[in-house]
Each structure stands twice: as C-alpha cells, then as structure tokens.
Amino acid sequence: MLMPHLPKSIYIYTLIKIMKALNYLFIFSLMMISCSKDSDSNITPATNTNLAELTFNGNNYSITNAKMIDTYHSIDEKHQYMLLFSDKDIVVDVGGFGSSFYYALPLASRFSMKLKMYSYGENIVNGTYIFDDNEPQNYQFFNQFSMSIDSNNDGYSDSHMQAVSGTITSSGVEPNNTLHFNIQLSNGQIFDFVYSGGFEYFINNY
C-alpha cells in the first residue's frame, strides 16, 4: 500500500504525535511494573506466632491467634469487646460504621476461647471485671465466656465450658492488654490463666 505524499510540516507534526504516544505508553508500562512490585513487596506471609501457652487437665495448648473486636456506641461512650483466642486462624469481617460484624472460630482447633466484656471510656478500663449476666451500673463486667478443647487431638471439640462466676483483671494499654482470668467454669473447675500476648484490633463503631 502506498502512503500519500504529505507536506513536510504535516509529516513532522504526525511523527511528533506518534513519538509522544509511544513515550506515554512506555512510561505507563514502567508505572504498572513498579506498582506490581510494590504490591508484591507489601504481601506479608501468614505466620502462626505463639502468643501464649497454657496447661489444662494435664494437656498443653497454644494460642497463636487473638483478635479484639471493639464495638463502640458513640452516643453513650460504651464499649463492647469481643475477644477471640485460638490455636488456628480466626475469621473476622467488620462491615464499617453502624454495621454488624462477623467472626468464625475454627472448628478443628485444639483450643479456642471467646470472651465478651464491657467498658466505659476510650479504651478498656484497667481493673477488675466481674461476671454478671445483668448490666451493672458501673458498666465494667463480662457476661460471656466460653472455652472449647479438643483434648485427644482428633479434630473435634470434646469439652465445652462456660463461665458461671469469676473475675477478669485487665492491665496495660489496648490492644496489648494483659488479662488475668480467674473463672469458675460450668464443669466446676477454676480457670486461672494470665494472657499477655496482645490482640489484632478491629473497630466497629455505632
């Protein structure tokens, strides 16, 4: 195919436009490569860090995953904390302001624990929290505590216990609180344990 003869000025102008387009394409390609490298470098491989060890009924268990979901009621400055512990990954999905949250403890874990506690103020107030199914006036209590254990390591929980009384003492700074559990369980045993491994923190505002 023969190209029509173009005046020199039009030819130079067209050539400049083509060169600019190729230059923009080259710069865009470099930016995409750079973004891809940055994205790759920001990927952190999943690791199971041993946050705590505990012994219960003669068996040793590890806590490698701990999450804190803070549901904050801005009108009355009340906090409801859901604390989750496990030896495997815990799924948490917080929808955003005014949304409900979702969590899932792993079914095949050897050890998992769930706690719901309440507090006033900007953070978890340090001090002693008493087990109470009703809402005390000082709003510093917990009303849910459960623990599931797979003692024979067959992939199924064979013990599930709940709190019937007891205290939890908090110290330190959120979300790296140290919690001292002194709880009477539904099977009659006393669960005396200090956790200081910290939490992955999620906020769920209302």
pLDDT tens per residue, range 142-190: 999 999 999 988 888 889 999 999 999 999 998 999 999 999 999 999 9
Q: Which residue has the tokens 């706690």?
A: 115
Could you count the other beta carbons within 10 Å of the beta carbon of residue 77?
Answer: 12
Are 127 and 169 in contact by the 8 Å Cβ rule? The answer is yes
Torsions phi, psi for 99 (to 5 deg): -105, 155
CA dihedral sign of residues 161, 166, 172, 178? negative
**C-alpha to C-alpha distance for 148 and 125, rounded to whole angstroms:** 27
pLDDT tier, 88 (very low <50, low <70, confident <90, very high otherwise): very high
What does the DSSP assignment read for 47-108? -----EEEEETTEEEEE-EEEEEEEEETTTTEEEEEEEEESS--EEEE--TT--EEEE--TT
What percent of the chain is modeled with pLDDT above 70? Answer: 70
What percent of the chain is modeled with pLDDT above 90? Answer: 47
pLDDT tier, 14 (very low <50, low <70, confident <90, very high otherwise): low
pLDDT of residue 161: 96
